[in-house]
């Protein structure tokens, strides 16, 4: 099936990404997306955007060349209580909450899990980014159950599944996570985690894995426009 939404993409402002917002949207169109989300790193990321960058997202049009544009942020989880580095939400359509080693040292499984579960209580967090990172062991059963309770999407991150990814054991971790998602009927979202325009909307690694695991298409929100509209209130 064809994924029509990609909400995990980075532009120049992230500090270690290489395309403009305009280029990303162009490639969203070229790669067949109907919905494009800009999710630059939160302000605690070294080299990342200043708070003003997020406060001014209103200048980006809601629609460009038939592509609906959503404005988000990949917020950093910054402590084991699950605090994130955002104190403005006005104008943001969604947050991805993620663990990054430059913003929080990996803790014990209990600490990492607590951080992630608490981040899910933030009202604008709609997605947990790359929950596959072997450097942050997580209690997947607890994460999946909370995602169900709070109606939050767990990401399958295409970049984590690249052979040169710096997040170890992503494949093995996704096998565990996805089998629980299947069991508890928890939805996932495919995210490219693009750091250059050409990757926007590319989910090849993730889709290959889902196919191998016989993961049900009905739990992949990227394939269902009606669910996308409802979930993001578009």
Site residues (CB under 5 A) for Zn ion?
98, 129
Q: Which residue has the tokens 């309770």?
A: 149
Nearest CA-CA partner of 48 in 73, 84, 21: 73
Helix (H) or strand (E) run with residue 71 in it: strand 67-76
| Dist CA 232 CA 230 (whole Å) | 6
Q: Kindly tell me which of 160 and 207 has the beta carbon lying closer to Zn ion.
A: 160
Using a CB cutoff of 8 Å and minimum separation of 24, what contacts does 28-32 make?
Answer: 28/67, 28/200, 28/201, 29/65, 29/66, 29/67, 31/200, 31/201, 31/202, 32/2, 32/4, 32/201
Q: CB nearer to Zn ion: give 72 or 129.
A: 129
End-to-end, the C-alpha distance of the chain in Å comes to 22
CB of 100 to Zn ion, least distance (A): 6
CB of 63 to Zn ion, least distance (A): 26
* Min separation Cβ 186 and Zn ion, Å: 20
Question: Judging by beta carbons within 10 Å of its beta carbon (0-12, 13-18, 19+), is residue 106 exposed, middle or buried?
Answer: middle
Min CB(45)–Zn ion separation in Å: 7
C-alpha dihedral (107, 150, 155, 115), degrees to nearest 10 = -10
Asked whether the beta carbons of 219 and 181 are under 8 A apart, the reply is: yes
Provide, rounded to whole angstroms, the least separation between the CB of residue 98 and Zn ion.
Answer: 4
Residue 19 or 98 having the CB closest to Zn ion: 98
Look at residues 116, 50, 45 and name the one whose alpha carbon lies nearest to residue 80.
116
Six-digit token string for 89: 């939400």
Output the smallest distance, CB 183 to Zn ion, in A: 26
């Amino acid at each position: 099936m064809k994924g029509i939404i990609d909400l995990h993409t980075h532009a120049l402002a992230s500090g270690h990404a290489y395309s403009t917002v305009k280029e990303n949207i162009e490639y969203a169109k070229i790669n067949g997306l109907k919905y494009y989300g800009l999710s630059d790193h939160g302000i605690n990321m070294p080299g990342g955007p200043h708070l003003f960058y997020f406060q001014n997202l209103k200048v980006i049009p809601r629609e460009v060349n038939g592509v609906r544009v959503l404005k988000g942020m990949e917020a950093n989880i910054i402590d084991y209580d699950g605090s994130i580095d955002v104190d403005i939400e006005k104008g943001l359509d969604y947050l991805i909450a993620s663990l990054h080693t430059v913003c929080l040292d990996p803790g014990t499984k209990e600490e990492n899990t607590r951080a992630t579960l608490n981040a899910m209580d933030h009202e604008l967090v709609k997605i947990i980014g790359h929950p596959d990172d072997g450097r942050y062991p997580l209690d997947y059963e607890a994460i999946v159950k909370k995602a169900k309770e709070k109606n939050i999407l767990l990401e399958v991150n295409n970049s984590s599944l690249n052979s040169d990814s710096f997040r170890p054991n992503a494949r093995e971790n996704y096998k565990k996570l996805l089998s629980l998602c299947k069991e508890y009927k928890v939805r996932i979202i495919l995210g490219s985690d693009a750091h250059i325009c050409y990757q926007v909307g590319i989910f090849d690694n993730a889709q290959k894995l889902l196919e191998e695991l016989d993961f049900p298409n009905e739990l992949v929100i990227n394939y269902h426009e009606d669910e996308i509209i409802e979930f993001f209130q578009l």
